């Protein structure tokens, strides 16, 4: 299995990160991306990691990588964009990575501004058990918060029956976070999705389309997952850092 970390955003909703990519923001004593890589290193079978950045921030990640070493080999991919207006979008970046490296594998995809305390190895084990595409979700009872996530509904087998990116009226309390596992045949369907007019931006748009064509399983995790997309979200993580750092260290 290969891993793709999506880190080509421009932090337009997080002004304090205008000069630094969000995955390099410090939380719990280290950059978010370091937490993600430590989790990936705890997963058997992930031997290659491709971090997709852009022309503005790729050098920041290259500098970070110079002083860090992990079990999995990490390659920084520069998508060549330099402004928010020219960005490829999350799904566009996945396709860019596939074409750049000739990717033909099952793929673990992680949004680089997602910080999570559950064990990533459990998510991969769930994928192996089900044998299908998988997303990560957590029950969120705050309706207003749910509106900012993709929201899934599942049947008794955990297979997604409804999936909507940022719904005005959520049909369930299952908020889907930015971690996905797609089988290689599903990865091959990304171009079909785009050809049919699919939105290349938010990563949740693809499973919203895909679940109508093949089964996608929902992994309900225990623990925390923070989408550090806004200043408010980042401040919340920092305010809860002591409590969450303790959780992280024992999970």
- Measured between alpha carbons, how far is residue 86 from residues 41, 42, 49, 83, 156 in Å? 33, 35, 24, 5, 42
pLDDT of residue 241: 55
187 vs 31: CA distance, rounded Å: 29
**φ, ψ (nearest 5 deg) of residue 14:** -135, 85
Q: What pLDDT tens digit does each residue of the chain (251 aa) get?
A: 999 999 999 877 776 656 889 999 989 889 999 999 999 999 998 989 999 999 999 999 999 999 999 999 999 999 999 999 999 999 999 999 999 999 889 999 999 999 998 999 999 999 999 999 999 999 999 999 899 899 999 999 999 999 999 999 999 999 999 999 999 999 999 999 999 999 999 899 999 999 999 999 999 998 888 888 777 778 888 877 544 443 334 33
pLDDT of residue 17: 57
Decide: pTM greater than 0.85: yes
Q: For the stretch 54-80, what's the b/e string if a residue is b when 16 or more beta carbons lie within 10 angstroms of its beta carbon? A: bebbbebbeebbeeeeeeeebebbbbe
What residue ranges define each of the domains in the chain, with the CATH number in brackets? 2-131+178-200+226-250 (3.90.550.10)
154 vs 31: CA distance, rounded Å: 34
pLDDT of residue 225: 87
pLDDT of residue 236: 80
Q: Strand locations in the chain, DSSP E?
A: 2-6, 26-27, 30-31, 48-53, 73-78, 107-111, 114-116, 133-139, 150-154, 160-165, 174-182, 216-220, 225-227
């Amino acid at each position: 299995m290969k891993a793709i970390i999506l880190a080509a955003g421009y932090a337009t909703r997080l002004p304090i990160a205008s000069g630094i990519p969000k995955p390099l923001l410090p939380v719990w004593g280290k950059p978010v991306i370091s937490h993600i890589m430590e989790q990936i290193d705890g997963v058997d079978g992930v031997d290659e990691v491709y971090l997709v950045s852009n022309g503005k921030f790729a050098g920041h990640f290259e500098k970070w990588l110079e002083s860090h070493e992990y079990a999995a080999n990490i390659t920084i991919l520069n998508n060549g964009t330099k402004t928010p207006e020219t960005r490829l979008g999350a799904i566009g970046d996945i396709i860019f990575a596939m074409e750049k490296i000739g990717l033909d594998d099952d793929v673990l995809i992680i949004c680089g501004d997602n910080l999570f305390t559950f064990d990533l190895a459990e998510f991969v084990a769930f994928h192996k058990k089900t044998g299908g595409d998988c997303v990560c979700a957590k029950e969120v009872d705050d309706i207003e918060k749910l509106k900012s996530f993709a929201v899934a509904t599942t049947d008794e087998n955990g297979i997604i029956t409804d999936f909507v990116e940022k719904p005005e009226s959520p049909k369930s309390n299952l908020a889907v976070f930015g971690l996905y596992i797609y089988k290689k045949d599903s990865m091959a369907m990304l171009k079909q999705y785009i050809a049919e007019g699919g939105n290349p931006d938010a990563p949740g748009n693809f499973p919203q389309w895909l679940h109508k064509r093949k089964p996608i399983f929902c992994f309900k995790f225990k623990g925390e997952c923070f989408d550090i997309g806004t200043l408010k979200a980042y401040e919340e993580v920092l305010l809860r850092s002591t409590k969450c750092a303790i959780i992280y260290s024992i999970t």
